[in-house]
Amino acid sequence: MTTADAGSWQEEEEELRGPVGKAFRLSAADSLSLGNALCGFLAVCVLASSAIQSLKDGGDFTPAPSYFATAVVLLLIGATCDLFDGLVARRFRASAMGAELDNLADVISFGFAPAFMVVIWGGFTHQVPFVAVLAAAGAVLVAGVVRLARFACVKTKSGDFMGLPIPMGAMTVISIVLLFEPSIYALLAVLGVAWLMVSRIEYPKPKGQLAAVVLGWIMVNVAFLAFWVARPEGGDLPIMIGASMQIALVAAIPLRMLFYKRSQRREAERVISN
């Protein structure tokens, strides 16, 4: 190897070290993304521990409401981290791997964790076939992964989300789990949520006042869950109200966007005709 070759090799190595070194510098937004991933992992651990505890006791597995409530609170905290990591990244410095960390954390908290919750909810009962529960849970996970991959490479003209955002999809799946007993109809509703995540229906991004409303909605849900854990006998009503409102919100947005686009087309046709 000549001196010139050695010098060029050293220059190439130094050029490669620059971006790699920067990629390992975590920003404040990355810390929120990692917190989101950790919350999803802890939620899965809580749900798994409920099954393990029941198996140790030797009885049939019936997940206690407190385990579900704890898991949902963890996922809501993860959703709060996910809501703020983008805002922090735009406000302060964003690292080179921020977007990848965000997507990976979302897969754990809003893809795998709610899918695992569906299995815990319906997989240990005799009301629905276990294969059907696995199919619905797998659909949630696969739809979430596809949704995140498409978000990384497809941008809408309006700047809104194409398909139901995965955090909202996860919260809707959780609402179905909290609101209904395992049944074929409930599993069909879970499959409907999975379809909405990969659909072409546009959902508005939470910006400005809408972001504040979303954060307030998360805080209200946390309060409902805390009341549910403290007084499970009297806490069912708030949980039912919160879960019903979540499902109604997800169902109402596509209808609102459909009517809005129809009015836009009519307005455009009226302008052209004039």
| Residue, of 85 and 147, whose pLDDT is higher | 147
Burial of 245 (0-12, 13-18, 19+ CB in 10 A): middle
79-125 pLDDT, tens digit per residue, is: 888 877 777 767 776 667 777 888 899 999 999 999 999 999 888 88
| pLDDT grade for 141, boundaries at 50, 70 and 90 | very high
Q: Give the pLDDT confidence score for residue 229 in this predicted structure.
A: 58
Q: DSSP assignment, residue 164?
A: -
Structure tokens at 195: 């379809």
Number of Cβ atoms within 10 Å of the Cβ of 238: 18
Q: Is 158 helix (H, G, I), strand (E, B) or coil?
A: coil
Quick one: which of 67, 63, 47 has its CA closest to 229? Answer: 67
17-62 pLDDT, tens digit per residue, is: 445 555 567 777 778 888 999 999 999 999 988 877 766 666 666 6
Q: DSSP assignment, residue 112?
A: I
Q: Give the pLDDT confidence score for residue 80 in this predicted structure.
A: 82
What is the C-alpha separation between 108 and 1, in angstroms, rounded? Answer: 48
Amino acid at 113: A
Structure tokens at 103: 């997507």
| pLDDT grade for 139, boundaries at 50, 70 and 90 | very high
Across the chain, mean pLDDT equals 76
| Residue, of 95 and 69, whose pLDDT is higher | 69
Contact 34, 101 (CB under 8 A): yes
What is the C-alpha separation between 109 and 139, in angstroms, rounded? Answer: 15
12-24 pLDDT, tens digit per residue, is: 444 444 455 555 6
DSSP string, 89-110: HHHS---TTHHHHHHHHHIIII
Burial of 260 (0-12, 13-18, 19+ CB in 10 A): exposed
221-239 pLDDT, tens digit per residue, is: 667 766 665 665 555 676 7
Domains of the chain, residue spans: 27-273
pTM recorded for the entire structure = 0.76
What is the C-alpha separation between 222 and 4, in angstroms, rounded? Answer: 64
